[in-house]
């Protein structure tokens, strides 16, 4: 397998078969930031070590390798760079492939990152119909719409604090000179201003490539950011970040739509955005500290992932009025034969969250203490994130 790759499948001559190439970077260990093992950079800005990005990047890579399906552009390569947990660079980091093979994963230094991204772009150039996917999770800083993605050695060079960072805006500009017409970028990083960016006006890091040719017309470059410009993005300890979790839920079905024929479930970029938005809102409603809004840029609609089965849908069942919920027993039945599929016997004031295959169901609320009238409703369950509200009235 070529360097940096954790997945490689030969689908025949590149010029005749369009394929998908992915580039995944997860940066959790920053030796020159707070808590790091090397000299602390004066530009640390309070940033420290992260546990979420390597987990997030691994989960995204696992999804690509195990679940991504595009019948016209099958997955050909996945490049992966990770820094996680180890106290020094070059400590072995392993990715286990779908066949059980243990593959060494390279460290996201600026040198490795440049080489890996250039090779990813070169593969994209092999066929204009290729699909390119880029994913980054780690620290980021930004001003306005410009974002700098911080690689593992950020802060290493005191004379140029951004030497180990990717100027994502410039990368975007140069990728519009890549022949692959469909490109999707997932940027799971903060985008707040900091002294480093403010003082380094007109420089946001390494552009990775400089290609002095005009942009190619018709390149679709869709970027999903985890947070608004100027805002923070949030991870979770040793778990996928909120954005990556929302993204994976959407990719696994909540972002699916059977747009062409009934039963042919596909993920499009625009539907993906809608599903991510809904899940991020739900996370905030469920008590996450703050609302994180995930904007998109250059959001053109195209389908890029085909589900091989009908999606399972996260359904939230509640009552109206809300206070009826704490007295309600809830059930979900088949509308054809009233057979109970799932039920919640215990009383709780929180909504009932269940997962159901897409379809039609009969939802019922009954009240053992007769405080409210029974309620039932047949609903069609489709992604994303339907909410079933059972209308009831107090009996007294």
Q: Residues interacting with another protein, by CB under 8 A?
A: 143-146, 173, 192-193, 198-199, 201-202, 212, 214-215, 217-218, 228-232, 257-264, 269-270, 273-274, 277-278, 281, 284-285, 287, 289-291, 293, 295-301, 310, 357-360, 378-380, 382, 384, 386
Closest by Cα among 209, 174, 218, 313 to 256: 313
Q: What is the dihedral of CA 123, 21, 13, 265, to 10 degrees?
A: -150
Q: Which two tokens stand for residue 117?
A: 């991204």
154 contacts 244 by C-beta, under 8 angstroms: no
Query: Closest CB to another protein among 64 and 390?
Result: 390
> What is residue 326's DSSP assignment?
G
Query: Closest CB to another protein among 92 and 262?
Result: 262
CB of 243 to another protein, least distance (A): 15
CB of 290 to another protein, least distance (A): 6
Element (H, E) at 381: strand 375-381
CB of 259 to another protein, least distance (A): 6
Compute the half-sphere exposure of residue 325: CA atoms within 13 Å on the CB side of its CA: 17
Closest by Cα among 359, 396, 353 to 378: 359
Q: How far apart are CA 277 and CA 290, in angstroms?
A: 14
DSSP lists the bridge partners of residue 140 as 149
CB of 246 to another protein, least distance (A): 13
Query: Closest CB to another protein among 314 and 379?
Result: 379
Query: Closest CB to another protein among 81 and 318?
Result: 318
Element (H, E) at 7: strand 5-8
Query: Closest CB to another protein among 105 and 272?
Result: 272
CB of 99 to another protein, least distance (A): 30
363 contacts 388 by C-beta, under 8 angstroms: yes
Cβ-in-10-Å burial (0-12, 13-18, 19+) of 191 comes to buried
CB of 2 to another protein, least distance (A): 32
CB of 136 to another protein, least distance (A): 19
CB of 368 to another protein, least distance (A): 26
CB of 325 to another protein, least distance (A): 14
Query: Closest CB to another protein among 94 and 198?
Result: 198
Closest by Cα among 58, 77, 60, 64 to 11: 77
Query: Closest CB to another protein among 153 and 182?
Result: 182
Query: Closest CB to another protein among 24 and 332?
Result: 332
Query: Closest CB to another protein among 95 and 265?
Result: 265
From residue 269, alpha-carbon distances to 167, 299, 310, 348, 352 in Å are: 24, 7, 18, 37, 29
- Sign for the CA dihedral angle at 368, 369, 374, 380 comes to negative
């Amino acid at each position: 397998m070529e360097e940096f790759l954790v997945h490689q499948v030969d689908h025949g001559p590149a010029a005749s078969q369009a394929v998908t190439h992915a580039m995944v970077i997860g940066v959790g260990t920053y030796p020159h930031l707070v808590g790091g093992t090397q000299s602390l950079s004066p530009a640390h800005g309070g940033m420290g070590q992260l546990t979420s990005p390597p987990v997030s990047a691994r989960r995204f890579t696992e999804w690509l390798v195990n679940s991504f399906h595009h019948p016209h552009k099958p997955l050909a390569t996945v490049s992966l760079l990770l820094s996680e947990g180890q106290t020094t660079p070059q400590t072995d980091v392993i990715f286990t492939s779908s066949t059980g093979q243990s593959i060494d994963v390279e460290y996201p230094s600026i040198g490795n990152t440049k080489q890996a991204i250039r090779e990813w772009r070169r593969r994209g150039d092999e066929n204009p119909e290729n699909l390119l996917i880029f994913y980054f999770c780690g620290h980021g800083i930004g001003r306005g719409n410009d974002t700098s993605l911080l690689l593992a050695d950020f802060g290493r060079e005191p004379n140029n604090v951004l030497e180990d960072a990717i100027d994502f805006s410039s990368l975007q500009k140069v990728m519009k000179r890549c022949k692959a017409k469909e490109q999707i970028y997932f940027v799971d990083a903060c985008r707040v201003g900091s002294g480093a960016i403010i003082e380094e006006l007109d420089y946001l890091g390494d552009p990775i490539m400089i290609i002095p040719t005009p942009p190619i017309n018709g390149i679709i470059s869709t970027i999903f950011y985890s947070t608004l410009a100027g805002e923070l993005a949030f991870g979770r300890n040793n778990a996928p970040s909120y954005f990556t979790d929302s993204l994976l839920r959407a990719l696994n079905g909540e972002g699916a739509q059977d747009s062409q024929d009934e039963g042919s479930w596909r993920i499009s970029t625009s539907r993906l955005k809608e599903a991510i938005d809904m899940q991020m809102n739900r996370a905030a409603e469920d008590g996450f500290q703050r609302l994180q809004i995930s904007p998109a840029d250059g959001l053109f609609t195209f389908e890029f992932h085909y589900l091989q089965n009908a999606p399972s849908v996260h359904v939230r069942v509640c009552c109206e009025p809300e206070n009826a919920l704490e007295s309600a027993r809830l059930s979900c039945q088949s509308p054809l034969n009233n057979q109970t599929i799932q039920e919640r016997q215990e009383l709780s004031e929180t909504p009932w969250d269940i997962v159901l295959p897409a379809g039609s169901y009969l939802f019922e609320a009954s009240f053992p203490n007769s405080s409210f009238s029974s309620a039932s409703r047949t609903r069609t369950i489709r992604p994303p994130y339907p909410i079933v509200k059972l209308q009831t009235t107090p009996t007294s």
